[in-house]
Every structure is written in structure tokens, then in C-alpha cells.
Amino acid sequence: MTAVVEVRDAHVVHKARSGGLFRRDRVYALTGADLSVAAGETVGVVGESGCGKSTLAKVLVGIERPVSGTVTFGGRDLWAMPPAERRATVGAGTGLVFQDPSTALNRRLTVRRVLRDPLDVHRRGTRSAREERVRELMDLVGLPRALADALPGQLSGGQRQRVAIARALALDPALVVADEPTSALDVSVRAQILNLLLDLKERLGLALVFVSHDIQTVRRMSDRVITMYLGRIVEETPAGRVTDGARHPYTRALFSATPGLLDPVEPIPLTGPVPSATRPPSGCPFRTRCWKADEVCARVMPDFSAASQPGHRYRCHHPVEEDTSTRDLARQEP
């Protein structure tokens, strides 16, 4: 499968926000990330708060520049392009759907204006072709055309998120990144928005990256699941295997703690806090909370190993045996 977007060995480092202990503290938001996403596939990204999910999302759509590493879009190095070309490539080639449509949409612009804006900026077609495209986009996301002149404040939360999705699709992007697209919505409309995203991915052949705290939803939505911990991708698992086939102890623990599994598994408790991203532990970052860690884990960050299934890889010195039930894992001494 040809990759729509490919990230290689990407590092993102921030200056710590004020309030950090030291003014020169650095936050290691993304460390050595490798990921590629192909047309027609959904890649889910999971991990606890602050592990770098949104940073990875921003790197994928070219709004965060890694301090090192490459981002290749449609086979071309994004950050080697002249700025105007990069803006055009990113603007037309990618769409980003944010968590909260109330803040992502300008309150003073009608639905029509919101959807026309990217078409105007990128000078797509004639005036009447743009009007036609607005109608097409509204149909695509299931918004009644009668709402074209409504302001965001006159819409429901679900309708606002449909507008945001339509705007992300306006220029026919190859890649859509949805960062927590349903967490600000009423539970009753979440499933509709998720189904809409999946349906659009199928119909338009999109590469879809789906970031969420809601692990169950990620599992259901995705073909592949990326597990992140303290800025690092620690496992990439075919979605059907994450509950009982994942090899990284952290992925197992994360998914075992998910309520609502069809086949409930014994929860593996995640003990202790996530260490600070300004001072990540040496070696494997998960070692301070891992029941399998030894002195090798404290010294060496493991490389990726391939699991028996294609598309499944993990970074761990002491991986969980394949298809071990979490019941057995939970019985092991921490």
C-alpha cells in the first residue's frame, strides 16, 4: 500500500510552559516517531494524557515542525518544500477535525461561509462551482441544505461537528486527522459522528488518523492501533489483537482497563504516575511502572521487534507472550 503520509524518526521538543521548575526545561513531546498511513486505512492513536498524541497529529498534518526527522506527504518531503508550496500541499491535502466544534468554528460565519472559505483561499473553480461544492459538502456529511445560512450557535453540537468535518473535506484531502472528535459531544450523537467518519473514509478512500482517550472506540474504528507513552510510539497493533494479542505490557494494561469489552479481561492496574515529559526515565520510559522491568530496561530503549502477525511491532525487552490472557498477567508479581 502506498503511504499518503510517512513520518520518520520525528522529534518534537517544546520549551516548558511557565510554571516549570526550571526556565530552561524542555518537554520531549515526541521522540523518534515512525509512522505511515495509507489511503483507505484508519490508524487509531491511544495513550494517557500528555503522551504526545496531539503532537503526532499536528506533525502528520504539517502544523508542527519536528526538530529532526522527516514528514513525507504524497512521497515528497514536506519540510524541504518552499513555504508557499508546503502551505498549499498541507492546506489541500490534509484535513484536521478538532475536539470541540464550538471553538473550532467562527461564531460569526454561516455554514456556507465556513465551507466556502477554504475554496476561496485555494481559489477552487468559479464562484458557482464553489457554491455547488458547498451544497455537495453539506450532502456528504448529512447536513440539511436549509442550514446553509445558519450560524454555528443555531446548530446542535453534532451538526457543528458535521460542519467541521465538511470543512476538513472541502479541498478533497487525502488525509484526515480527527483529534478527539467526539469527546465534546453528547453521548447520544457520538456514534453518529464516528459512523460518519468511517463512512466518509470508505467512500472517499481517505487515510484517517483517529486520536482518542476512548480506547474502546479506537479499537472499533481502527485497522491499526498506535500506542504512545511519554512521547514514544511503543507498539503498533492490528486493531483486532489489541486486547489479548498486544505484546507491550503498557498496551495490555491500557486495554485491560477498558470498560465495555465484549469479552471482559482481568484489569492490569497501572501503578504510579506517568513520569514528567521534561525528565523521561532512561532506557524504556515505561519501566518505572512496568511489572516486568529489569536493569536492561533502565539502560536501553529497545528497538522495534516484529510480532508474528504482519503489521504488528512493539518496543519491549520483555514482551508479554502472544495470546496470554490478562488473567495470567495480573497474577504475576509486580
Ligand X SMILES: Nc1ncnc2c1ncn2[C@@H]1O[C@H](COP(=O)(O)OP(=O)(O)OP(=O)(O)O)[C@@H](O)[C@H]1O
Q: Which residues bind ligand X (CB under 6 A)?
A: 14, 17, 27, 29, 47, 49-55, 277
E strands, the chain, are: 3-15, 26-38, 42-46, 68-73, 76-77, 94-97, 175-179, 207-211, 224-229, 232-238, 305-306, 313-314
Q: Which is nearer to ligand X, 12 or 307 (CB)?
A: 12
For residue 229, give the C-alpha cell. 507513552
Whose Cβ is closer to ligand X: residue 18's or residue 308's? Answer: 18
- Shortest distance, position 278 Cβ to ligand X, whole Å: 8
When the beta carbons of 42 and 55 are compared against ligand X, the nearer one is: 55
Give residue 72's identity as a one-letter amino acid code: T
Q: How far is the CB of 47 from ligand X (least distance, A)?
A: 6
HSE-CB at 77 with a 13 A cutoff on CA atoms is 10
Q: Which of 4, 75, 69, 63 is nearest to 38 (CA)?
A: 4
Based on CB atoms, which residue is closest to ligand X, 5 or 119? 5
Burial of 10 (0-12, 13-18, 19+ CB in 10 A): buried
CB-nearer residue toward ligand X: 47 or 93: 47
Q: Is the sign of the CA dihedral 322, 326, 331, 334 positive or negative? A: positive
Q: To the nearest whole angstrom, how small is the minimum distance from the Cβ of residue 209 to ligand X?
A: 13
Residue 52 or 118: the one with the smaller Cβ distance to ligand X is: 52
Q: Quote the least distance from Cβ 276 to ligand X, whole Å.
A: 8
Give the type of residue at 263. Answer: D
Question: What CA–CA distances, in Å, run from 261 to 25, 43, 223, 228, 324?
Answer: 40, 20, 17, 21, 17
- The β-bridge relationship of strands 207-211 and 42-46 is parallel
CB of 37 to ligand X, least distance (A): 17
Residue 330 near residue 268 (C-beta atoms within 8 A): yes
Q: What's the min distance (Å) between Cβ of 6 and ligand X?
A: 20
> Of 16 and 261, which has the nearer Cβ to ligand X?
16
Give least dist CB 127 to ligand X, A: 39
